[in-house]
Chain A
Amino acid sequence: MKRILLTCLVLGALTLMLAPLTSLGQRPMSAHPELDHVDLDCSSCHSCEEPTIQEPCLKACPRHAAMQKTGQHQLSEAPDTIMLAEIADQFQPVRFNHKLHAEMAEMGQDCATCHHYSPEDEIPPCKECHGGEANPTNLRQPSLKGAYHRQCLSCHREWSHDTKCVVCHLPAEGSGVVAMGYDSTDIIGISHPVITEPEKKVYHTPYEEGPVVTFYHKEHIELFDLRCVDCHQEENCSYCHDLQKPAQLAKSQEEVHAMCNNCHLNDACSKCHDTKERPGFTHASTGWELGRYHQGLDCRACHPTGKRISRLSNDCVACHGGWNQENFDHAVTGLRLDELHQMMECEDCHVDLQFTQTPDCTGCHDDGRTAEFAPPGDWINE
C-alpha cells in the first residue's frame, strides 16, 4: 500500500515539474515570466499556433525588443514598386512606389521611418506581423489595413489635407466608386503652394559641338501648357525639401535627357545644344512675325492641338476662311467701310484674297485712285 502511495506521489510531482514545458501553447506567459508585465500574446512573436522550445517558429519582429534600427540596407535591395492588392474587389491594386518613398525616408529615420521593429539582418514586410484582421488578444497591434493607412496617411494628410480613398485607390470596375478627377502622381497639382519657376537656365555641358544649352523654363511651361509632373516624373518631396542633400538635385546626364525626350525624342542635338547662349523664343524666329492683330493672342488661340505646336500656313484664309462681307467687321482694320463698299465681296478689292497686298480699285474705278488717297470709308483712330 505504501509503495503504491509513493509511486503516486512521485508521478504527481513529475507531472507538476514538467507541466510548464508541455503547456507552452496554452499558457504563454508562464513560459516567459520576464514578459509578464507586457501585454503580449503568443502570436506577437510566434508564427505557429503551438510554439515549442525545439521549434519556436519565431517571427522576425520581436516587438518587446523594439529595435528601432534596420542595420545597413541599400535601397536597391528592395523592390521599386509593390502592388498592394488585399481589397481587389473594391479597388484596383495600389501601386506603391517603394523607391520614391524610401528616398524621402532618408529625410526621416531612414527605413525605420516605416519599418519599425526590424531585426538587424532583415526588414520584414508589414504582412509578417500585421494580420488581415484586428487581433482581439492583442488590441495594441493594428491590423494590416490599419498599419498601411497609418503609415501612408500620417504624411499624405499633412501635405494634401486630403483623405479621399481614391487618392491612392483606383476604383475597381463595377464597384460603383467614383474615380478621382485628378492625377495622383501630380503632387504639386493636387496641393502645393505656388512654385515660382525659374525664368531661364543655362547649362554648360561636355558636348563639344554645342556645349551651351539655354533653357527658358517659364516660357516652356507657358508655351506648351505643362504641369510640373510632365517633365519632373518620379520625383518626390526630398528633391526640393531635403536640405541636407542638395546634391540630389544634380541629375545624371541620362536623367536630364530622359526629361526632355518625353517630347524631343526625335529632335537633333542642335535643337538644344549651341555654342553660345540663345535668345528666348520670338515668333519672328519661326519666319512669321506677329503683326498688330495677332500679337495679343494666346498661343493656344492659333495652335490648339496638344503639346506639339504645329507650323501653320501663312495664308490668311487657312485660318480665316469663314469670313465674308457679312460677318467681317472691316472696322477692326482701322477703316470703316462706307455703305456702298460694305455690300461688296472681299475679292472685289483684295485680289485673290491676298490681304497683305495693296487693294485694287481699278475693277470699278478708272480714275486711278488708290485706297490710300481715296479710302472707301473713314479711317478711325484707335
Chain B
Amino acid sequence: MAINRRNFFKLAAAGSTALAVGKAHADDSGLTVDCSDNYGVLVDTAVCIGCRRCELACDQEHTKSGRPPESFDDKSVYEKHRRPNKDAFTVVNEFADPAKPDDKYTMKVQCMHCNDPACASACLVGALRKDAAGPVVYEEWRCIGCRYCMVACPFQIPTYEYDKALEPRVRKCTFCYERITEEGQMPACVAICPNEALTFGTRQRLLEVAHYRIKSHPERYVDHVYGEKEAGGTSWMYLAPAEFAHTELPRLDHSAIPTLTETIQHGIFKSFLPPLALYGLLGLIMHSTREKKDRSEESSNHD
C-alpha cells in the first residue's frame, strides 16, 4: 500500500480514534490526562549525525533569520553550548560521557511539549495551552508579556523578543502546529532529518518503538526514555547512548510540575469560588455572631 503524507495521519490515528487530552488516567506521574494518543517525536541521539539540517528546516519554516543555508554546515558551533532562542527554536549540541570524551554524540533541543505544561499553568491569560493533538500552542494575541512562562518552564525553553519595542512575543518551538494538524504533514525538522533520527507518531507508539530499540540494542542505549516520565511526561522524548546527566536535559521529578500548585490555585479559583467563598465566609461570620448575640440576649433575658 502506498503511503503518502496525508493518509499517514489517518493510519496513525486508526485504532486510537479519540485524540483527546481529556481522558481520565492515573499513574505515578499524578497526571490526570492521558496523552498516549497525542503526537510526539522520538529523538534518537544514537542515530543523529549532527548535520544540523533540522536547524535549517526550522529556520526556513519559522524563524526566517536570513542565515544562508551553507552556514548550517558549520560544525564549529559545537565548540560552544547553544540554547534555543528567538531566532532558532531548535539547536543541536554536542555531548560526550566525560569518561569517554572521544565518543561524541549530538542532541537536538527544543520545547518538549509537556503533557502537563508548566508554562501554560503559569500563564495568567491562557496564552499557552496544550492542544489535543500534542503541541503546546502559544497565542500571541492573548499574551500580556509577563514572561511567567519563561520562569515556570523546567527546560528553560521560552524566549522573549526583548529587542522589539512594539508587540514583543514569547518565542518557542511550535511543533509545527499547522503542518501537523491542518496540512497533514510531519514537522519540518522531522521531514528533513536524513538519518531519521527523529520519529514522528503518537506518544504510545513512540514509547513502544523506544523500548523496542533499547531492548534490541542494549549496547547502544542507556535504559531510559527521557520524557516518558520526566515532568509528568512530554511529547518529545529522547534516547541516548550515555546517561542523560551528561546532557543539558535536567534531572526532573516524575510528577508534573503544575500538578501541586495548580490543585491549590485552581481549587480556589474554580467556578468563581473566591467571591462565593468570601461572601459565604462573611455570611457565616455574620450569622454566627448574630446567633451568639441572640443567644446571649436570650440568656440574659432568662436571667
Query: Is the pair A149, B12 in contact by a Cβ cutoff of 8 Å?
Result: no
Complex Cα distance, B298 from A344, in Å, reads 145
A143 within 8 A of B: yes
Query: Is the pair B196, A134 in contact by a Cβ cutoff of 8 Å?
Result: yes
Contact of A142 among B9, B70, B196 (CB under 8 A): B196
Query: Interface-forming stretch among A156-164, A232-240, A292-300, A354-362?
Result: A156-164
Q: Which residue of B lies closest to A142 (CB)?
A: B196
Query: Is the pair B8, A133 in contact by a Cβ cutoff of 8 Å?
Result: yes
B4 within 8 A of A: yes
Interface centre among B12, B49, B212 (most CB of A within 10 A): B49
Query: Knowing A39-B209, A163-B51 touch, does A143 contact B196 (C-beta < 8 A)?
Result: yes
Task: List chain B residues, Cβ under 8 A from A163.
Answer: 49-51
B182 within 8 A of A: no
Contact of B49 among A39, A49, A134, A157 (CB under 8 A): A157
Shortest C-beta distance, A45 to chain B (Å), equals 13
A21 within 8 A of B: no
Segment 9-50 of B: residues with Cβ below 8 Å from A: 9, 11-12, 42, 47, 49-50
Complex Cα distance, B210 from A39, in Å, reads 12
Give the interface residue-count category, chain A.
20 to 34
Contact of A178 among B4, B70, B194, B196 (CB under 8 A): B70
B200 within 8 A of A: yes
Segment 195-210 of B: residues with Cβ below 8 Å from A: 195-196, 199-201, 205-206, 208-209
Complex Cα distance, B198 from A142, in Å, reads 10
Contact of A136 among B9, B42, B47, B51 (CB under 8 A): B9
Query: Is the pair B3, A131 in contact by a Cβ cutoff of 8 Å?
Result: yes
Give the interface residue-count category, chain B.
20 to 34
Complex Cα distance, B206 from A135, in Å, reads 13
Shortest C-beta distance, A158 to chain B (Å), equals 10
Query: Is the pair A139, B209 in contact by a Cβ cutoff of 8 Å?
Result: yes
Contact of B195 among A39, A140, A150 (CB under 8 A): A150
Binary flags per residue of A191-204, CB closer than 8 Å to B gives 1, else 0: 00000000000000
A137 within 8 A of B: yes
Query: Is the pair A150, B70 in contact by a Cβ cutoff of 8 Å?
Result: no
Segment 48-98 of B: residues with Cβ below 8 Å from A: 49-51, 70, 73, 75
Query: Is the pair A149, B8 in contact by a Cβ cutoff of 8 Å?
Result: no
Shortest C-beta distance, B66 to chain A (Å), equals 16
A124 within 8 A of B: no
Complex Cα distance, B3 from A139, in Å, reads 13
Q: Which residue of B lies closest to A177 (CB)?
A: B69
Task: List chain A residues, Cβ under 8 A from B193.
Answer: 146
Complex Cα distance, B12 from A140, in Å, reads 13
Interface centre among A133, A143, A165 (most CB of B within 10 A): A133
Task: List chain A residues, Cβ under 8 A from B206.
Answer: 139
Query: Is the pair A145, B8 in contact by a Cβ cutoff of 8 Å?
Result: no
Contact of A43 among B1, B194, B199 (CB under 8 A): B1
Complex Cα distance, B212 from A140, in Å, reads 8
B5 within 8 A of A: yes
Q: Which residue of B lies closest to A156 (CB)?
A: B49
Query: Is the pair A134, B194 in contact by a Cβ cutoff of 8 Å?
Result: no
A256 within 8 A of B: no
Task: List chain B residues, Cβ under 8 A from A178.
Answer: 70
Complex Cα distance, B1 from A59, in Å, reads 13
Interface centre among A136, A153, A157, A164 (most CB of B within 10 A): A136
Query: Is the pair B3, A150 in contact by a Cβ cutoff of 8 Å?
Result: no
Task: List chain A residues, Cβ under 8 A from B47.
Answer: 150
Contact of B8 among A39, A136, A142, A150 (CB under 8 A): A136
Complex Cα distance, B193 from A291, in Å, reads 62
Complex Cα distance, B208 from A161, in Å, reads 32
Query: Is the pair B49, A153 in contact by a Cβ cutoff of 8 Å?
Result: yes
Complex Cα distance, B208 from A296, in Å, reads 71
Query: Is the pair A134, B199 in contact by a Cβ cutoff of 8 Å?
Result: yes
Complex Cα distance, B77 from A184, in Å, reads 24
Complex Cα distance, B75 from A157, in Å, reads 12
Complex Cα distance, B201 from A142, in Å, reads 13
Shortest C-beta distance, A98 to chain B (Å), equals 20
Interface centre among B75, B196, B201, B206 (most CB of A within 10 A): B196
Shortest C-beta distance, A226 to chain B (Å), equals 29
Task: List chain B residues, Cβ under 8 A from A133.
Answer: 3-5, 8
Query: Is the pair B199, A139 in contact by a Cβ cutoff of 8 Å?
Result: yes
Query: Knowing A150-B196, A178-B70 touch, does A134 contact B8 (C-beta < 8 A)?
Result: yes
Task: List chain B residues, Cβ under 8 A from A43.
Answer: 1
Task: List chain B residues, Cβ under 8 A from A39.
Answer: 208-209, 212
Query: Is the pair A135, B3 in contact by a Cβ cutoff of 8 Å?
Result: yes
- A-B pairs with beta carbons under 8 Å apart, 28 shown: A39-B209, A131-B3, A133-B4, A133-B5, A134-B8, A134-B196, A134-B200, A136-B3, A136-B8, A136-B9, A136-B12, A136-B201, A139-B199, A139-B201, A139-B205, A139-B206, A139-B208, A140-B209, A140-B212, A142-B196, A143-B196, A149-B196, A150-B47, A150-B195, A153-B194, A153-B195, A157-B49, A178-B70
Closest 3 CB pairs of A and B: A146-B196, A163-B51, A136-B12
**Which residues of A come within 8 Å of B, CB atoms?**
39, 43, 49, 131, 133-137, 139-140, 142-143, 145-146, 149-150, 153, 157, 161, 163-165, 178
Extra pairs beyond A135-B3, A146-B196, A149-B195 (6, CB < 8 Å): A134-B196, A139-B42, A139-B208, A161-B75, A163-B50, A165-B194
